[in-house]
Structure 1
Amino acid sequence: MKTVLYLTGLFLFPSIIIGCCNKKQINNTSVDKTPLSIIFDTDMGNDIDDALALDMLYKYIENGQINLLAIPTSKKGKYCAEYLDIMNTWYGHNIPIGVVENGTDKDNNAPFTKHTCELKQNGNLVFNRTINNYDDFYKSVSLYRKILSEQPDNSVIIISVGFSTNLAQLLDSPADKYSTLSGIELIRKKVKYVSTMMGNIKDQNHKEFNVFCDIPSAQKFINEWPTPIMISPYEVGDAILFPAQSIENDFKWKSPNPLVIGYINYMQMPYDRQTWDLTAVLYAVEKEKKFFGNSEWGTLNIDNTGATTFIVNPKGKHRYLTVNKEQALKIQKYFIQLITQIPAKYKKTTLN
């Protein structure tokens, strides 16, 4: 997610295939393609791109490409988790949600989650929930530890599109009822890599929102995380806009829709929104398609003001995405194609 904050300058309809293997025919040979295991760490409510990114993940579930294991949150406040629960319920998925503990107070209090959660018709709430008591949500770090402990070694991809709060806390987490391993040991054993939206490589004067809102956690994550990290910096998502025209015209098959309600209440319509968080999702799930360019290996440095710089180092664990105009146009078209797919839950009723 990315609200802009400057201190200085600035195809196929889905089918539900969950928890099983796909098989593709290559030269008449059957090849197993196991769905990717994904954890989506979000500050849902600070920007609408988190909601667009989550829609992508639901579509990937239904296309058999991923298993979405958990949605830990890094934004404080009940509307973050409640909106996620509404999205889960509306799309027909039951993904465990975690709420942050000791989270940052620096955030963008965008009203779209609150508006969606409180929307009423004839005196009744419009959107159903699965979890009606906020206290019933997992705590984010406990959810991380539970899920990671249950997965095969070196199998989990974390997509982080909010603050680094949970990741920093996970690093320091002790052994618990889920695992005898420390946090860093559990990460090293279970996590394959992290795809994260953070920083600005192109403009070092820009204090990018995800980093700036919790600088100590971002520094800890970048400095101590033991697995590779692929960074989608601000300038990549800034170059690819999701069009308001699609929101206005391509979702008429089911109304009201919590994604659409959120989008139209985030900013005054019509507006085209940057796709920061979507790029981190796209890379993680479909990196073999090479939608993006990428840097050499190196190290991201974060100073105490939140400014980010990248130093090339063959021994480094970090890389960052790049995008040119041709790639940006291709990615924009792909985002529209994927997000406007009708969810499996509504496909039959829409076609009848």
Structure 2
Amino acid sequence: MTFVFVLWTMTLPGCGREISARPPLLILDTDFSSDADDVGAAAVLHNLAAQGKVNILAMMVSSGNPWSVPCLQAVNAWFGRPEIPVGKAADGAVQDESAYTRAVAEAFSRRPAAAPDAVQLYRRTLAAQPDQSVTVVSVGYLTNLRNLLQSKPDAVSPLDGQELVRRKTARLVCMGGQYPSGREWNFHRDAEAAAYVAAHWPTPIIFAGFELGKDIVTGAALRRLPENNPIRRSYELHNKLAGRPSWDQIAVYYAVMTANGEQIPFWSKIHGSNAVSEDGSNRWLNEKNGRHAYLVQRGDSAKIAARLEQLMLP
């Protein structure tokens, strides 16, 4: 697939030289099945892309739910981006029940496209990008990322997965874990993958934990949308538009805005290392030279929720 980027120039004050700029590059990895916040995160990402703040290279599904991929494709098409490639997890991925994926896929998808294997799509997408240019955002299980790191050289790239990630990605923003310690859904559902990625991902990781999103509730404002809207329909099927914690939206919003160099007053970072155990629990190590960080809320919950919910609406 050919990716087309819009380039522009700006002059730095006082120096008279021009530099080129373009929206930051991002890959989203989502389970898109067990909760509606995945759908909310996709809406946030699409609306930020419409503002010119991000270029969505690809999306990956980490759930084995058979309707997750066509549901995500339907949402992408609704936002006018049916060309975004969606990768599916390999056999053996976590199988989730979902209240919305099948209904939304059948109602809003004209003709689901064939989905490539997620690792193959990761390798093809990363290999085509400039070095240290891609932000990966994971808001589901870390199954695909573990499989990517363990992938071997192929016709797409002579690099193995570990080196390809090291070469092409700037960082990973991961919704997973609880801080400074705890046990959270995305980690414990594929604990081996979570432990492997935390230990072996070669570029910096910023974690957005369970405690960060549980009090940032969004979704009720979707009642204002027409009934034939897939975002509204997903939340309606999941819990009758009662609102849900915004775990995944936080990770996407933080990743995009900071990739644009914008200062966000809502969160600060604590640096160190994240140790993930075989049962999916995690604990924070205050290591001076650790490659990890986790976010701590500094802003008002109502203001954060209002900002995110606004980005979930057309």
Question: What TM-score do the two structures reach when normalised by structure 2?
Answer: 0.91
Change over 3 Å in CA distance of 1:295–1:89 after alignment to 2: closer
Q: Aligned with 2:294: secondary structure?
A: strand
Match of 2:5 in 1: 19
Match of 1:196 in 2: 174
Match of 1:221 in 2: 197
Change over 3 Å in CA distance of 1:154–1:130 after alignment to 2: farther
Contact 1:294 1:319 in 2 (8 A): no
In structure 2, distance between residues paired with 1:25 and 1:41 = 35
Match of 1:295 in 2: 269
**Deviation string, structure 1 residues 144-195 (Cα, Å, up to 9, x no partner):** 0000000000000000000010111111100112101100010010000000
In the TM superposition, residue 202 of structure 1 has moved relative to its aligned partner by 4.8
Q: Is 1:50 matched with 2:38?
A: yes
Partner amino acid, structure 1, of 2:255? A
Q: Is 1:62 matched with 2:35?
A: no
In structure 1, distance between residues paired with 2:59 and 2:74 = 13
In the TM superposition, residue 31 of structure 1 has moved relative to its aligned partner by 6.3
Match of 2:112 in 1: 131
In structure 1, distance between residues paired with 2:126 and 2:275 = 27
Q: Percent of counterpart pairs with the same letter? A: 30
In structure 2, distance between residues paired with 1:306 and 1:159 = 19
Q: Aligned with 2:67: secondary structure?
A: helix
Match of 1:304 in 2: 278
Residue of 118, 122, 142 corresponding to 1:144 = 122
Q: Which runs of 5+ in 1 are unaligned?
A: 1-17, 119-125, 343-352
Contact 1:89 1:130 in 2 (8 A): no
**1:1-352 to 2 correspondences below 5 Å:** 19-21=5-7, 32-93=20-81, 94-105=83-94, 107-118=95-106, 126-132=107-113, 136-202=114-180, 204=182, 207-244=183-220, 246-249=221-224, 251-252=225-226, 255-267=227-239, 269-287=240-258, 288-324=262-298, 326-340=299-313, 342=314
Change over 3 Å in CA distance of 1:22–1:279 after alignment to 2: farther
In the TM superposition, residue 38 of structure 1 has moved relative to its aligned partner by 0.2
In structure 2, distance between residues paired with 1:164 and 1:243 = 25
Change over 3 Å in CA distance of 1:157–1:304 after alignment to 2: same
Partner amino acid, structure 1, of 2:307? Y
**Deviation string, structure 1 residues 291-321 (Cα, Å, up to 9, x no partner):** 4333332110112222111111121110001
Change over 3 Å in CA distance of 1:22–1:333 after alignment to 2: farther
Q: Aligned with 1:178: secondary structure?
A: coil
In the TM superposition, residue 203 of structure 1 has moved relative to its aligned partner by 5.3
In structure 2, distance between residues paired with 1:336 and 1:163 = 24
Contact 1:89 1:129 in 2 (8 A): no
Contact 1:85 1:130 in 2 (8 A): no
**Deviation string, structure 1 residues 260-305 (Cα, Å, up to 9, x no partner):** 11110012x2412100001110111112222433333211011222
In structure 2, distance between residues paired with 1:322 and 1:103 = 34
In structure 2, distance between residues paired with 1:201 and 1:57 = 25
Change over 3 Å in CA distance of 1:202–1:317 after alignment to 2: closer
In the TM superposition, residue 26 of structure 1 has moved relative to its aligned partner by 7.4
- The count of residues paired between Structure 1 and Structure 2 equals 305
Change over 3 Å in CA distance of 1:65–1:23 after alignment to 2: farther
| C-alpha RMSD over aligned residues | 2.0
Structure 1: 4+ residue segments shifted above 4 A: 22-32
In the TM superposition, residue 111 of structure 1 has moved relative to its aligned partner by 1.9
Partner amino acid, structure 2, of 1:282? Y
In structure 1, distance between residues paired with 2:238 and 2:112 = 24
Partner amino acid, structure 2, of 1:285? V
In the TM superposition, residue 228 of structure 1 has moved relative to its aligned partner by 0.1
Q: Aligned with 1:297: secondary structure?
A: strand
Q: Aligned with 1:70: secondary structure?
A: strand
In the TM superposition, residue 259 of structure 1 has moved relative to its aligned partner by 1.0
**Deviation string, structure 1 residues 192-220 (Cα, Å, up to 9, x no partner):** 0000100011552xx21100000110000
Contact 1:75 1:104 in 2 (8 A): yes
Q: Which runs of 5+ in 2 are unaligned?
A: none
Q: Aligned with 1:177: secondary structure?
A: coil
In structure 1, distance between residues paired with 2:243 and 2:23 = 31
Change over 3 Å in CA distance of 1:23–1:257 after alignment to 2: farther
In structure 2, distance between residues paired with 1:261 and 1:231 = 29
